[in-house]
Amino acid sequence: MNKTKSNRLRIFCSLLFCFIIGSKIAAQSVRVSGKVLSSEWGSLEGLTVIILPGNLTTITDKKGHFYFNNIPKDSKILKINHAGYLPYEMKLSLNETSILLPDIFLKPEIKELQEVVITDHFGLRRKKEESLNIETVNSSFIQRNLGGSLMQSLQRIPGVKTISIGSGGSKPLIRGLSFNQVIVVENGIKHEGQQWGADHGLEIDQYAVNRVEIIKGPSSFMYGSDAIGGAVNIKPIPTPSKNTFGGSVDFTGKSNNEQFGGSINLFGRNEKWFFDTRMTVMDYGDYRVPTDTVHVYNYAVSLYKNHLRNTAGRELDLHASTGYVTEKFKSVFYVSNVYSKSGFFANAHGLEPRNVDTELHDKSNRDILMPFQEVTHTKISNTTSFQLANHQVETQLGFQKNFRREWSHYVNHGFMPPIYPDAMYAPKDLERQYDKQVFSVAVKDEFSLNKHQISVGINAEQQQNDINGWSFLIPAFTQFNTGLFAYDKMQLNELWLLHGAVRLDYGKIEMEQYNDWFPSEITENGQTTSQYLKRSEDLTRTFNSFNWSAGVNYTPGKLSLKANLGTSFRIPIAKELASNGVNYHYFRFEKGDPNLAAERSYQLDLGMDWQANKWSFQLSPFFNYFPNYIYLNPTSQHDIYYGAGNQVFEYEQSKVMRYGGELQTRYQFLQNLSVEILAEYLYSEQLSGSKKGYTLPFSPPASVLFGINYSPQIKNLKDTYFSLDYRYTAAQNQIVPPEKKTASSNIFNLALGTKLKTGQQDFIISLQVQNLLNTKYLNHTSFYRLIELPEASRNIILSLKVPFLIHKSN
Amino acid sequence: MKTIKIVKLALLHISMAFFFTACSSDSPEIDTEYPVIDISAVNTFPVQCSEITRGQKIMFRTKFTDNTELGSYSLDIHHNFDHHTHSTEVNDCVADPIKKPINPMLYINSVTIPAGQKSYEAVQEINIPQDIDPGDYHFLIRLTDKEGWQTIKGLSIKIL
């Protein structure tokens, strides 16, 4: 095994070596060089430049330069076609042996500025300038890979998975970490919902996303607590061009859950004022799985016509932003409201797997009956940036309200009365309610000093959390966090870039006492009394943390190398400190530990990137160590009071080691045919505590994706593509109670799309067939994995985007 | 130039080696087996569709096994007058019509199994009061092992 490995390595390295040599000896007579720029983004990296006839291609480097060393003298045309820009053509007359062309300025396609593409070259540059591993995708990537929710659409990126519930919700899982260990930032503000819950998705409208940056690694030094596993940074939409008025309409239909929906966007700008609005509507039915029986913890449940009972849902999202822009000043107000209502699989919610009224439930696959949840997330913010001499200052003010309710029939347990009292403070079927309100403020200053590019900043956040409902899991609490950071990026020379960051954080969490609303009978010393039991105490905890990060980038031409070493931290959340109740999704009793310390992490990240004419290769391994990972440990005990005999899970801390990496490689066979291999691997192990030797929950298995992409040039069509992805996911045999081993799977996805031009109007069409062969398989990191629920059956997704421009003048 | 190339290749080797050794590391032996609720013995009670009379004491008797060490078990008897739940067993019992509870029996108890046992015969006396509602009940057995793996068995019984 080892021998084959080293052989493979040798072959690989020799090929690499040949390539380096090969590119050196190819100096010939006619040489053409130039530079490609855009007025908005400066030099453009990673663009393909084509010489016709002969179809010679090259790719621009990080300064936008391109060179052709050896081209025939009869070459006539130079062409650049790049999504988001108007096609560019230049006639060549090659009389001399060496020609330096004037700078080429590409013009952005105004109509698409909203939707596309600050794109590849921007992403590439970010990769080379950051020592952490960063992936950038844009809205066209999302449209091509459209899933039921934003994170599901991003799953193609190696190292990024999701913990999904149903067809419309998911939480990011970056290199095996999720929930409060991954931060989501939208428009510069940390998204605050109920991150800890696996039972609902992120309250983000994926149609409103223009560009997403995913940091696969600890980024506490930038974002503070919670960014210990990574960050998903949803960038603000770019401001429209001057004197434009336009928009776009999106339609999406999905076969599996009979979903239909869409989004309408309108934007406009005169010289300095602009606005941008959007409305997204979605409605979907119960989704289908390729099985007719599910085993909910040994309880067999039959499904009607493969429909997962009561998983229908709907969503209504509204966004509006307006602002004022000049060259040195920009101020933007955002308001958004994201609402969703979705059902839970009716047989798997409560104190035990339940029998449901199948006649009622199976009457329609579009109704949402109990149990279901409703989430409303409101955001209001202002971002203002201005230039003061050498300083670029940005201030941010934000308010968020996350209001989440879970509705379910009242089920008494413990000493709860069998009949729900009329005079109760909560409505009868309100199982839980979480009401979170967050105020946040941040100031950042960026400036350069000789070779240093320095950012300093301060941010603070105050949140208030109230609870309601007949059940109890987490107490009400208030929390205050503040942090101070400094980050220095130093360009030593053309090749070397150094990074250093330090950050100080303070956090305070105050939990409120909670008493049962019903009396319990307690027997002490032979005396039985009736008491309103205390489920949680008044408790205040404070946390301080100092974190640092240091990194280096080395970019000699096509190769770029990076390394980063840093610490990260996370303040324990209220659930980990003070939960004391039944989790109705998993039929278990969860208990917090008020003495938990702040989680800490040390991580080494490496990265190697090779971008050549026809191929690219990227490898990003990491090693991570937690001295005190917070882990929900299944004990061998049962709770016989409030827990109704369910198994007790307790929060504990243990030493954890994790390592793994991602590999991405791409080869351009022909101008319009390319193949791609994306692979990921992760290993986690608890090194101490009661689950020593076990892995962590939701550990994604290794997987590799082979993709082939054909993008022919067809008359009247633009950006046409046909792509087939085959993903092999290895078995996951490393499990921890209560998980089950998950078998390997082979899944095919097909995607095709094009941009149709009729007159001045564009139609962007994309079609996807997910799970092409209708394979029955389990996803180890799915919320419903524990109840042996297979993933969705074949799903055909059709989407159409129609951008329009009502008015434009220069 | 040459040194740079060597550096490049060395770095490549290091990172590749890291990636591949990462793939082939072995995990230590851990217990991934569920405990077993064994109802095959003749004197096991109750079983699916057992009938129990009010005002009597019944004797719960079942054998538990595990590959390493048993943890604890809990017993839960609650009414199923609303047909809210069903059993884990293949054969169904004949259920009475749906009715409203007035004074249903509720019994929840848990027992920690003595340390070090791989096999354990659980025996427990349960008092069925005279004044409770008769009808369909559920008898739920939850068994854990030391590591926290849990097996559930839900039986449908009738109290007469």
Q: Quick check: A703 pLDDT over 80? A: yes
pLDDT digits (tens, 9 = 90+) for A635-693: 999 988 888 888 999 999 999 999 999 999 999 888 889 999 999 999 999 999 999 99
Look at A69-73, A426-430, A801-805, B139-143 and tell me which has the smallest mean pLDDT. A69-73
Whether residue A27 has pLDDT greater than 70: no
Tell me: cis bond preceding A475? Omega within 30 of 0 counts: no
Closest CB to B85: pick one of A352, A638, A647.
A352
Cβ of B19 within 8 Å of Cβ of A663? The answer is: yes
Domain ranges of chain B: 36-159
Residue B25 pLDDT exceeds 60:
no
pLDDT for A7: 52
Task: Give percent of chain A above pLDDT 90.
Answer: 50
Taking an 8 Å cut-off on Cβ atoms, the answer to whether A661 and B9 are in contact is no
Residue A517 contacts B, CB cutoff 8 Å: no
Q: Do A745 and A719 contact (CB within 8 A), yes or no?
A: no
Residues B15, A621: C-beta atoms closer than 8 Å: yes
Distance CA B37, CA B35 (A): 7
Q: Which amino acid is at A238?
A: P
- The residues, any chain, with a CB within 8 Å of residue A656's CB and separated by 6 or more, are A625, A626, A629, A631, A684, A685, A686, A687, A696
Q: Which residues of A touch B20 (CB under 8 A)?
A: 5
At residue A751, the pLDDT reads 94
Distance of alpha carbon A797 from alpha carbon A769, whole angstroms: 6
A671 or A774: whose pLDDT is higher? Answer: A774
* Cβ-defined contact of A645 to B15 (cutoff 8 Å): no
Interchain contact, B153 vs A644, CB within 8 Å: no
Instruction: Judge: A619–B32 Cβ closer than 8 Å, yes or no.
Output: no
pLDDT at A40: 66
Average pLDDT, chain A: 87
Q: What does the alpha-carbon distance between residue A541 and residue A530 come to, in Å, rounded to a whole number?
A: 31
Closest Cα in chain A to B79: A418
Give the model's pLDDT for residue A1.
40
**Which among B85, B110, B153 has CB closest to A353?**
B85
More confident residue, A340 or A223: A340
Residue B154: strand pairing partners: B140
Q: Answer whether residue A463 shows pLDDT above 60.
A: yes
User: How far is CA A694 from its chain centroid?
Assistant: 27
Beta strand A299-302 with A134-138 is unpaired
B130 touches chain A (CB under 8 A): no
Q: Token pair for residue B67?
A: 């590959």
Q: Above 80 in pLDDT, residue A64?
A: yes
Section A390-409 average pLDDT: 94
Owner of token pair 């390595």: A9
The domain made up of A119-808 has a fold known as Maltoporin; Chain A (2.40.170)
A352 touches B at CB < 8 Å: yes
Cβ of residue B114 closer than 8 Å to a chain A Cβ: no
Which of B102, B111, B149 would you mutate first to test chain A, the one with the most A CBs within 10 A?
B149
Q: How confident is residue A614, by pLDDT bands cut at 50, 70 and 90? A: confident
Residues B113-122: what's their mean pLDDT? 93
Nearest residue in A to B5, CA atom: A17
Contact A549, A564 (CB under 8 A): yes
Q: Which of A647, A690, A786 to mutate to test the interface with B (most CBs of B within 10 A)?
A: A647
Instruction: State the best of A12, A293, A352 to mutate against chain B, taking most chain B CBs within 10 Å.
Output: A352
- Judged by average pLDDT, the poorest of A561-565, B3-7, B112-116 is B3-7
User: Among partner residues A20, A734, A738, which is closest to B149 by beta-carbon distance?
Assistant: A738
Q: Is B25 on the interface with A (CB under 8 A)?
A: yes
A109 has pLDDT over 80: no
Tell me what pLDDT residue B79 has. 87
Selection from B26, B155, B9 nearest residue B91 by Cα: B155
What's the DSSP call for residue A700?
A: P
CATH code given to domain A28-107: 2.60.40.10
Q: Which residue has the higher pLDDT, B18 or A503?
A: A503
Mean pLDDT of A88-113: 74
Least Cα separation, residue A712 to chain B (angstroms): 35
A-chain residue closest to B35, CA distance: A636
For A621, which of B22, B25, B144 is closest by C-beta distance? B22
pLDDT of residue A81: 77
Rg (CA), chain B: 26
Q: What is the overall mean pLDDT for chain B?
A: 82
- A612 near B CB under 8 A: no
The enclosing H or E element of B23 equals helix B2-23
Q: What is the pLDDT of residues A518-536, one digit of tens each?
A: 888 777 888 888 889 898 9
Chain A to chain B Cβ contacts (< 8 Å): 142
Lowest mean pLDDT among A25-39, A401-415, A582-596: A25-39
| Sequential DSSP letters for A278-325 | EEEEEEE---B-S-SEEEETTEEEE-GGGB-TT--EEEEEEEEEEEEE
What pLDDT score does B28 carry?
A: 53
Q: How far is B56 from chain A (nearest CA, A)?
A: 23
Region class of B135: left (phi > 0), else alpha (psi between -120 and 50), else beta: left
DSSP string across A176-200: TB-GGGEEEEETTEE--S-TT-TTS
Sort out which chain B residues have CB atoms less than 8 A from A17's CB and list them. Answer: 5, 9
Q: What is the mean pLDDT of residues A49-68?
A: 80
Question: A13: buried, middle or exposed (CB in 10 Å: 19+, 13-18, 0-12)?
Answer: middle
Domain residue limits, chain A: 28-107, 119-808
Chain-chain contact of B13 with A13 (C-beta, under 8 angstroms): yes
Pairing mode of beta strands A293-296, A299-302: antiparallel
Best CA proximity match to A105, nearest among A1, A209, A35: A35
pLDDT tens sequence across A274-323: 999 999 999 999 999 998 888 877 778 888 888 988 999 999 999 999 99
Scanning A295-334 for CB atoms below 8 A from B yields: 297-300
Mean pLDDT value across residues A263-282: 94
CA distances from A479 to A79, A313, A375, A801 (A): 57, 32, 21, 42
Does A548 have pLDDT greater than 90?
yes
Q: pLDDT tier at A122 (50, 70, 90 boundaries)? A: low
Within 8 A of B11 by CB-CB distance, chain A residues are 561, 608
Phi, psi of A13 (to 5 degrees): -70, -40
User: Higher-confidence residue: A310 or A24?
Assistant: A310
pLDDT at A293: 86
Beta strands A31-38; A98-100: pairing state: parallel
CATH class of B36-159: mainly beta
> Of A555-559, B16-20, B28-32, which has the strongest mean pLDDT?
A555-559
Residue B136 touches chain A, beta carbons under 8 Å: no
pLDDT at B36: 94
pLDDT at A41: 67
Q: What is the pLDDT of residue A3?
A: 45
| CA dihedral over A100, A103, A108, A109, signed as positive or negative | negative
Q: What is the mean pLDDT of residues A471-490?
A: 94
Nearest Cα neighbor of A717 from A671, A763, A752 is A763
Q: How confident is the model at residue A110 (pLDDT cuts 50, 70, 90)?
A: low
CB B82 within 8 A of CB B98: yes
By C-alpha distance, the chain B residue nearest A735 is B32
Confirm or reject contact between B29 and chain A (CB < 8 A).
yes
Predicted TM-score (pTM) of the model is 0.85
Contacts of range B105-108, beta carbons closer than 8 Å, 24 or more positions apart: B105/B77, B105/B78, B105/B79, B105/B129, B105/B132, B105/B133, B105/B137, B105/B159, B106/B77, B106/B78, B106/B79, B107/B75, B107/B76, B107/B77, B107/B78, B108/A640, B108/A641, B108/A644, B108/A645, B108/B74, B108/B75, B108/B76, B108/B77
pLDDT classification of A562: cutoffs 50, 70, 90 = very high
Q: What confidence score (pLDDT) does residue A651 get?
A: 96
Query: Among the listed ranges A182-191, A706-715, A782-791, which one has the minimum average pLDDT value?
Result: A782-791
Q: What is the pLDDT of residue A488?
A: 94
